[in-house]
């Protein structure tokens, strides 16, 4: 509690004085005080997840939430830069004495710390100009970045946990950084995020179709490549239909293994894409013809607004086999990674063929904000699809896997997808989701709407019994919703599986709404405090329009979607 010596520092009307006095006695009343009101920093810290740490970092004076929030984000930026320096020193000074797993884990942390510096700089640029509640779209942008910063920090810590020689040197900086980022997110949420911003659902925004305007083409294409491209457009009129709206295509290149296109590898085509495009310029389209592409593809954060179209599921296949079992980190095992904003993929299969005995082996890791996968397939076993961070949308996709095969801490909606648990190792259970939300203020979670959950052929014909669950809580505030979908009978009546004892059972948020099928009966579901059978009002918060504010960015892609409840 703040000392009474603080009172003479500011002048209040008698009513406001009594309000502040009451607030100091009961910090929960802070919601009743205008956000611009100066309060002791100790009082404002009580509304964060880490009050003691907050009080040790923020200046001991009276200020409003905006001034303290800006200070916290500035300190977070300094902390990120300090961590990056420590990681660089470790990599440069100790590389020769480190094991390969330690080097990879440090490199993951270095990459994530550099992202955090970019995200914090961008966030500071937004809140530095405002001492008021932001418009919903701007607030969601910054909350997404600050949520991703915490996710990146947690991913770094997870990768170092088993590496004692490295982890001991970094445990305090990592812990302090996590606490500070959490304080920054809490203060931003309190000051800048509009209350109830996710409750304006637009129902039944759907029936949109892709079509392309081949305009402003600047890259030269051979006549043969042009013929290939024109052929695919003509063949795919069921997908690329004419309509009222058009997807603007800035440039087009063709990838074909037979040499008929501009490139024979996907990575070469990505290299040719411009850096830091903006949405209004249109997409750089990479058309990938039929073939099996044995490549590890990475779309860096500079390659914004790429559109990749293949010849169809199981026709255009991108494949690899990196795994934790073979010495890779989970974060670096993916066949395909996305870090760029505005990425769209259509008609492609992404594989990791390491197999169930190799442990974590990711087909796709996605950190691309405002990214879309439409009519794609994700094919692996444990940890198939790593929806790591940012805002994502998946429509009419097929997802195959065993343990935790949709996981991560993005704000993500799966709509009209097919989810196929497959046969794991004998003795293993299948868990479809493992959501990784670590902080109550993160705007993240997995929303699965109007999807079909059925057993893959190898699981359906398995010679041994397998227990199958909708998910388990990877992190403390894990959040997953299944709604308006079909769940087949092979899902256990309890529905959900504990991670370890009672960990997260009261802090998680797991919910089901209006599902159908023999596995959708909720009468014998878990009785955890964090599990809920919800109604339409709560379910609406996890729709495309509300949960990922899809109406602000999906129309440009022309990918079909339903904004509200179906």
Q: How far apart are CA 73 and CA 146, in angstroms?
A: 9
CA-closest candidate to residue 283, choices 250, 236, 309, 311: 250
Question: Per the residue annotation, which of 404, 439, 488, 502 is the catalytic one?
Answer: 404
Is residue 321 classed as helix, strand or coil in its secondary structure? coil
Q: Is 244 a catalytic residue?
A: no
Q: What is the DSSP string of 466-517?
A: --EEEE--SSTT-EEEEES-EE-TTB-TT-B--SSTTTTTTT-EEEEES-BS
3-state SS string for 253-296: EEECCCCCCCECCHHHHHHHCCCCCCHHHCEEEEEECCEEECCC
Q: How far apart are CA 340 and CA 327, in angstroms?
A: 26
Pinpoint the alpha helices (H) of 292-390: none
Dihedral sign of CA atoms 215, 219, 223, 224 in order: negative
Q: How far apart are CA 396 and CA 47, in angstroms?
A: 41
User: Tokens 């959708």 — which residue?
Assistant: 520
DSSP state of 215: -
Residue 214: how many other CB atoms lie within 10 Å: 15
Phi, psi values for residue 485, rounded to 5°: -120, 180
Phi, psi values for residue 150, rounded to 5°: -65, -40
Is residue 387 classed as helix, strand or coil in its secondary structure? strand
Q: Across the beta sheet with 364-366, what order do the strands follow?
A: 297-299, 336-338, 364-366, 385-387, 403-408, 430-435, 468-471
Residue 464: how many other CB atoms lie within 10 Å: 9
144: left (phi over 0), alpha (psi -120 to 50) or beta: alpha
Q: How far apart are CA 562 and CA 525, in angstroms?
A: 28
Q: What is the DSSP string of 402-446?
A: SEEEEEES-EEEEES-EEEE---STTPPEEEEEE---STT---EE
Phi, psi values for residue 484, rounded to 5°: 60, 30
CA-closest candidate to residue 113, choices 147, 77, 161, 140: 77
User: Which of the residues are catalytic?
Assistant: 404
């Amino acid at each position: 509690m703040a000392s009474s010596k603080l009172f003479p520092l500011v002048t209040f009307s008698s009513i406001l004085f009594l309000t502040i006095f009451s607030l100091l006695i009961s910090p929960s009343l802070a919601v009743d005080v205008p956000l611009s009101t100066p309060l002791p920093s100790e009082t404002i810290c009580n509304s964060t997840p880490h009050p003691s740490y907050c009080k040790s970092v923020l200046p001991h004076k009276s200020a409003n939430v905006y001034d303290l929030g800006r200070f916290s984000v500035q300190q977070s930026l300094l902390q990120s830069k300090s961590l990056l320096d420590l990681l660089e020193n470790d990599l440069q000074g100790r590389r020769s004495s480190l094991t390969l797993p330690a080097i990879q884990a440090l490199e993951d942390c270095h990459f994530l710390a550099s992202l955090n510096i970019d995200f914090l700089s961008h966030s500071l640029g937004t809140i530095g100009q405002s001492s008021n509640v932001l418009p919903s779209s701007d607030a969601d942008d910054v909350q997404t970045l600050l949520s991703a910063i915490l996710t990146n920090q947690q991913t770094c810590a997870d990768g170092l946990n088993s590496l004692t020689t490295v982890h001991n040197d970094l445990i305090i900086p990592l812990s302090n950084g996590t606490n500070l980022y959490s304080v920054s997110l809490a203060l931003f949420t309190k000051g800048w995020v509009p209350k109830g911003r996710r409750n304006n659902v637009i129902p039944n925004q759907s029936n949109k179709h892709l079509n392309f305007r081949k305009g402003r083409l600047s890259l030269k294409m051979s006549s043969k490549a042009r013929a290939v491209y024109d052929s695919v457009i003509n063949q795919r009129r069921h997908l690329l239909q004419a309509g009222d709206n058009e997807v603007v295509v800035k440039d087009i290149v063709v990838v074909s293994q037979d040499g008929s296109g501009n490139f024979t590898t996907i990575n070469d085509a990505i290299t040719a894409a411009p850096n830091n495009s903006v949405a209004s310029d249109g997409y750089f389209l990479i058309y990938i013809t039929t073939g099996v592409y044995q490549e590890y593809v990475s779309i860096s954060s500079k390659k914004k607004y790429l559109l990749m179209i293949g010849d169809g599921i199981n026709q255009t296949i991108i494949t690899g086999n990196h795994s934790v079992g073979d010495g890779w980190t989970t974060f670096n095992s993916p066949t395909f990674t996305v870090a760029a904003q505005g990425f769209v993929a259509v008609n492609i299969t992404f594989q990791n063929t390491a197999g169930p005995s190799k442990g974590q082996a990711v087909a796709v890791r996605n950190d691309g904000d405002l990214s879309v996968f439409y009519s794609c397939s994700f094919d692996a076993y444990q940890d198939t699809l790593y929806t790591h961070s940012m805002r994502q949308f998946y429509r009419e996709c097929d997802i195959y896997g065993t343990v935790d095969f949709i996981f991560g801490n993005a704000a993500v909606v799966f709509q009209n997808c097919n989810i196929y648990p497959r046969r794991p190792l004998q003795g293993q259970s299948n868990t479809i989701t493992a959501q990784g939300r670590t902080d109550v203020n993160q705007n993240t979670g997995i929303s699965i709407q109007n999807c079909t959950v059925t057993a893959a052929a190898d699981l359906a014909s398995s010679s041994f019994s397998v227990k199958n669950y909708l998910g388990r809580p990877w992190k403390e505030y894990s959040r997953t919703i299944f709604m308006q979908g079909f769940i087949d009978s092979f899902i256990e009546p309890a529905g959900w599986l504990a991670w370890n004892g009672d960990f997260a059972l009261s802090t998680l948020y797991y919910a089901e709404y209006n599902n159908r099928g023999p596995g959708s009966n909720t009468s014998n579901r878990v009785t955890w405090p964090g599990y809920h059978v919800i109604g339409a009002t709560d379910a609406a918060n996890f729709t495309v329009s509300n949960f990922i504010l899809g109406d602000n960015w999906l129309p440009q892609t022309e990918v079909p979607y339903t904004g509200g409840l179906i």
